């Protein structure tokens, strides 16, 4: 028995652990939205090691990090093309074992970014043993691959510098855009609230959750944690939510019952595409 167990472990660990600092990082990356994005076919062709469903693991070393990249989504096809074009090569250079999930909100009702991210968590853990989860707006493209999407010691805010804000944090408690939490951190706070319909506040509520559970967030230095945002207009269905301030005042009393523990949704469709896994979901929103 014991010999069998030892053999099983060494089989998994046949390849040496990837180095702490991936050797092929480039640092600053030129990101531009001036020309049309690559088509999915072009991106597929230039990323031959990405497997069906948008999954990758380094072929030459055992990755240190198994990460689900979770993207709340509705009707942003051009943004998604840029995202895949830029982010697949970056994530591979970071030597992650990753998979990209698009969580696509079904129907024209009010958008709910936070609930989509809860769904991404709940669906991805059925597929694989992800250690951590990167919650990622589709319109943010990383400009420096040294900001590694590795599993963080504390909940990590990644979109520190964004060109739209002249690369300055708009306020120190901001926890939107791109964040990463381990499974343990995310379950400790009961995931995101499901109650934020429309724009704003759901990220501040998550910040409250993290603090209320005694955690502090962490960030990479602003010099490397940099993003370009693809400009766009506010969509119909994502109007500013007038209830957001009331909701974020009550995080302390609602977080135990509003979150992963109360998550209800219906998967309408799931497709494993060459560059990403697409999960279309009915969130049972208000009419």
Site residues (CB under 6 A) for ligand UDH?
A: 71-76, 111, 113, 137-139, 199, 233-235, 237-238
Query: How do 178-182 and 132-136 pair as beta strands?
Result: antiparallel
- In the bound complex, what is the minimum distance in angstroms from residue 74's beta carbon to ligand UDH? 4
DSSP-assigned beta bridge partners for residue 266:
282
CA distance 263 to 194: 7
- In the bound complex, what is the minimum distance in angstroms from residue 17's beta carbon to ligand NGS? 36
| DSSP 8-state symbol, 152 | P
Beta carbon nearer to ligand UDH, 95 or 202: 202
Contact yes or no for 119/279 (Cβ under 8 A): yes
Contact yes or no for 237/278 (Cβ under 8 A): no
CA distance 276 to 283: 21
The interface partner of residue 72, options being ligand UDH, ligand NGS, none and the CB cut-off 5 to 8 Å by kind, is ligand UDH
- Characterize 155-177 residue by residue with b for buried, 16 or more Cβ atoms within 10 angstroms of its Cβ, and e for exposed: bbbbbbbbeeeeeeeeeeebbbb
Residues 149-208 that bind ligand NGS (CB under 6 A): 170, 174, 176, 200-201, 203-204
The interface partner of residue 244, options being ligand UDH, ligand NGS, none and the CB cut-off 5 to 8 Å by kind, is ligand NGS
User: Quick one: CA torsion of 146, 152, 155, 160, rounded to 10 degrees?
Assistant: -10
- In the bound complex, what is the minimum distance in angstroms from residue 276's beta carbon to ligand UDH? 13
Beta carbon nearer to ligand UDH, 110 or 156: 110
Beta carbon nearer to ligand NGS, 150 or 159: 159
The interface partner of residue 146, options being ligand UDH, ligand NGS, none and the CB cut-off 5 to 8 Å by kind, is none
Beta carbon nearer to ligand UDH, 64 or 196: 196
Residues classed as catalytic: 137, 139, 199, 202-203, 229, 232, 234
Beta carbon nearer to ligand UDH, 161 or 237: 237
Residues 97-116 that bind ligand NGS (CB under 6 A): none
Beta carbon nearer to ligand UDH, 58 or 200: 200
Determine the size of the site formed for ligand NGS (CB under 6 A): 10
123 binds ligand NGS (CB under 6 A): no
Residues 213-252 that bind ligand NGS (CB under 6 A): 244-245, 248
- In the bound complex, what is the minimum distance in angstroms from residue 250's beta carbon to ligand UDH? 22
E-strand ranges in 50-110 read 55-56, 66-73, 97-105
Other CB atoms within 10 Å distance of the CB of residue 263? 17
- In the bound complex, what is the minimum distance in angstroms from residue 105's beta carbon to ligand UDH? 7
The three state secondary structure string of 94-144 is CCCEEEEEEEEECCCCCCCHHHHHHHHHHHHHHHCCCCEEEEECCCEEECE
Other CB atoms within 10 Å distance of the CB of residue 12? 8
Contact yes or no for 209/190 (Cβ under 8 A): yes
- In the bound complex, what is the minimum distance in angstroms from residue 37's beta carbon to ligand NGS? 22
Q: Give residue for tokens 């319909």.
A: 197
- Helix, strand, coil fractions of the chain, as percent rounded to 5: 30, 20, 50
Binding site for ligand NGS (CB under 6 A): 170, 174, 176, 200-201, 203-204, 244-245, 248
């Amino acid at each position: 028995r014991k010999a069998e167990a030892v053999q099983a472990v060494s089989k998994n660990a046949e390849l040496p652990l990837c180095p702490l600092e991936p050797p092929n990082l480039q640092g600053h990356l030129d990101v531009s939205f001036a020309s049309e994005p690559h088509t999915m076919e072009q991106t597929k062709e230039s990323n031959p090691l990405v497997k069906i469903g948008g999954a990758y693991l380094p072929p030459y070393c055992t990755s240190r990090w198994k990460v689900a990249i979770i993207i709340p989504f509705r009707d942003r096809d051009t943004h998604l093309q840029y995202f895949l074009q830029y982010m697949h090569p970056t994530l591979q250079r970071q030597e992650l074992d990753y998979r990209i999930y698009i969580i696509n909100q079904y129907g024209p009702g009010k958008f709910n970014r936070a609930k989509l991210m809860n769904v991404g968590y709940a669906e991805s853990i059925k597929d694989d043993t992800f250690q951590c989860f990167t919650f990622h707006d589709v319109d943010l493209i990383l400009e420096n691959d040294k900001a590694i999407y590795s599993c963080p010691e504390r909940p990590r805010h990644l979109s520190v510098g964004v060109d739209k804000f002249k690369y300055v944090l708009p306020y120190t408690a901001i926890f939107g855009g791109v964040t990463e939490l381990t499974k343990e951190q995310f379950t400790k706070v009961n995931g995101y609230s499901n109650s934020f319909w429309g724009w704003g506040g759901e990220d501040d509520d998550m910040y409250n959750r993290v603090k209320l559970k005694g955690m502090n967030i962490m960030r990479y230095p602003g010099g490397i944690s940099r993003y370009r945002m693809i400009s766009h207009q506010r969509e119909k269905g994502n109007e500013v939510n007038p209830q957001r301030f009331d909701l974020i005042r009550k995080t302390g009393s609602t977080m135990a019952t509003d979150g992963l523990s109360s998550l209800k949704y219906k998967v309408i469709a799931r497709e494993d595409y060459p560059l990403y896994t697409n999960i279309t979901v009915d969130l049972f929103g208000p009419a």
